[in-house]
Every structure is written in structure tokens, then in C-alpha cells.
Structure 1
Amino acid sequence: MGSRRAIELGAVILILLSFVGKIGGFIASIPDVMVAGLLCCMWAMIAALGLSNLRYSETGSSRNNIIIGLSLFLSLSVPAYFQQYGLIPSSNSSVPSYFQPYVVASHGPIHTSSRGVNYVLNTLFSFHMVIAFIVAFILDNTVPGSRQERGVYVWSEPEAAKREPAITKDYGLPFRIGRMFTWVKWVGL
């Protein structure tokens, strides 16, 4: 599905259906196996769409390969380290995986004098996406590379960006709202 209109319409329909109790009961009755299958497809699509943002960069560059590899590796290993603190050996109750970051928040490896800072840092470092973002952001902005290698050459000239159909399709605002924001550098008409 590539149309933003379909996503917007689907979001409006889901918001309206959330007010109907029978619909909520039906959704709650969906078996966990089916929900897991849908989540696998959804997360695979999100990962593929995230990696498709790299289409303007040089994918054969060792700089880019190292940044992508390190961010993916650390996003899998660092949260695993933090989440091992969520396993409380004295407790016999198992915690569902989606609550794991919040259990880590109170028992995580970061201990400062402020409980609030401990809670925030332990929670953030137990999320895969946060680690991937932090590592990729830091490495992309500190490891030297040309504009061509980083893929930012496409956005260097507004006229060149407006001629690129993929940019106008990906970054255009819905329902011609872009006309109200012509002062923004990358919003096309």
C-alpha cells in the first residue's frame, strides 16, 4: 500500500470504530497466533520502509555499511543486555515481552542518585529502535563522508528536489496542504 490517502482513511475509520464496544470485544477475541503473524508482517514492512530511505545514499560504501551494520547489531545486543535485568529471579511470575522495558526501568543497570533519570535511561536503552537511532545518528554525523555518500546531495538544491518524483511523492503533504507551507524548504507544491 503506497497511498497516504488510504492510510489516513483507515486511521479515521479505526478511531471511529474504537468508540464501539462490540468492535473492541471482537478485536480482543482475535487469537494471539494471528496477532503475532500480523505483527511479524507489520514489523517487516516497517524495517523495509526504513531501509528504503537509504536509496539515495551509496549502499556500496564501506562507511555506510559499517554505520548500518553497527546500528543494527547494537540495537539487538544493547537492549538484550538491559532486558536481562528485568528478569527477577525471586519472582515466579513471567512478564509479557511488551512489558519488559518497564520492568527493566526499575531494576536496570543504570543507577544514579535520581530515580527519574534511572527510570528514563533504563527504559530508553531497553528499546531496540532508540538504540538504532542513537547509534546511526551519532555515526552518520561524526564519521566523515561526502554528500554523495551520505545521500544528502538530493536535498541540496530545492529545484533538483522538486524535479525528483520520488521526493515529491514521499515528502509531499496530503490534500495539497503544502501550498500553505511554501516557506518550508522541502515542501513541494
Structure 2
Amino acid sequence: MGSRRAVELGAVILILLSFVGKVGGFIASIPDVMVAALLCFMWAMLAALGLSNLRYSETGSSRNNIIVGLSLFFSLSIPAYFQQYGLMPNANSSVPSYFRPYIVASHGPFHMGFGGVNYVLNTLLSLNMVIAFLVAVILDNTVPGSWQERGVYVWSEPEAVRREPAVSRDYELPFKVGKAFKWVKWVGI
């Protein structure tokens, strides 16, 4: 199934079903092994989708390889540093790993005078996706490279976007909502 419409319809159905208590009870009864398998598949698809966005850039460029490599490396190492603060010796070790960012939020390495700022920084910097995003955005916008190398040439001309159906299909709004926003430069394609 490659249609985005099926995903959109499924999302609407799931939102509506979330208001029914029996459905929530059924979903809560799904074994952890099944949930783990679904999460593995979902994260694999997200990683593949993220890497497929590199198809417009020059993948043989050392600039792009370094940016991707550093963002992947830092997205694994920095959250591991932050998450070590969530492993307190007296804490219950049966806490699932996906709850660690919330434990780190209150016990992380940031201890400024503002409790809310500590909580936000400790939580965000313990999440792999946030670190990968920040490192990739900062490096992509600071390391010099040509438009061809960065893959920006595809979006630089509105006519080129209209000619290449893959680009417009990937970024169009669902159910032709973009027609209502023709006045916005890139939305009303």
C-alpha cells in the first residue's frame, strides 16, 4: 500500500475510535511483544523515509556523508550521555527505556535556576530524533556546499517542482487542501 490517503483515513478512524473506551481497553490488552514489533517496523520505515529524502542531494559528496554520519553519531551518543542520569542506583530498573527521557528531565545534567528550562533541555537533549535534527540542520546550513550538493536545486524553481511529480506528490497537502492556500508560495502547488 503506497497511498497516503489510506494513512490519512486510518488516522481519522483511529482518532474517532479513541473516544470509545472498549477500543482503548482492547488496544491496552495487546501483548508487549506485538507492540515492540510494530515499533521496530515503524522506526525502520521512518529511518528509511528520512534517508530517502537524500535522493535529491549528491550522496557521493564528502560534505553530505560527513553531515549524515555526524548527525547519526551524535543522535546516538548525546542522548546516551543524558540518559545515564535516568539510571539512578536506587531507582526501579524495570522502567522501560521509552520512559527514560521523562526520568532524565528531572535528574538530567542541566541544573539552572529555572526548573522549566531544566526540564525542557534535559528532555529534548535525551531524545535521539531531536539531536539528529539539530545537528543536521546546523551542519547543513553552516558547512559550505553548492545547491546541487545540498539538493536545494529541486525546490529552487517553482516550475521544476511542478514538472517533477514525485516532489509535488511528497509535499502536497491532503485532500487538495492546498487549493485554499494558493496565496502561499509553496503550499498551493
Length-normalised TM-score, structure 1: 0.95
Q: Distance in 1 between matches of 2:50 and 2:92?
A: 38
Give the 5 Å matches for 1:18-97. 18-97=18-97
The letter of the residue matching 2:102 is Y
Give the 5 Å matches for 1:169-188. 169-188=169-188
Runs of 4+ aligned residues of structure 1 deviating over 3 Å after TM superposition are none
Where does residue 110 of structure 1 map in the other structure? 110
1:88 CA displacement: 1.0
The letter of the residue matching 2:68 is I
Where does residue 124 of structure 2 map in the other structure? 124
Q: Which sections of structure 2, spanning at least 5 residues, go unmatched?
A: none
Q: Distance in 2 between matches of 1:137 and 1:150?
A: 12
Deviation digits for residues 119-142 of structure 1, max 9, x if unmatched?
111111000000001100100000
Backbone CA RMSD of aligned residues: 1.3
Q: Distance in 2 between matches of 1:9 and 1:78?
A: 37
Deviation digits for residues 129-173 of structure 1, max 9, x if unmatched?
000011001000000000000000011111111111111111112
1:2 CA displacement: 2.5
1:80 CA displacement: 0.4
- Give the conservation status (yes or no) of the 8 Å contact 2:180–2:188: no
Say if 1:70 and 1:135 are closer, same or farther in 2 by CA, change over 3 A: same
- Give the conservation status (yes or no) of the 8 Å contact 2:58–2:64: yes
May I ask how many residue pairs the two structures share in their alignment?
189
1:184 CA displacement: 2.0
Length-normalised TM-score, structure 2: 0.95
1:183 CA displacement: 2.1
Q: What percentage of aligned pairs have identical amino acids?
A: 81
- Give the conservation status (yes or no) of the 8 Å contact 1:86–1:103: yes
Q: Which sections of structure 1, spanning at least 5 residues, go unmatched?
A: none
Where does residue 12 of structure 1 map in the other structure? 12
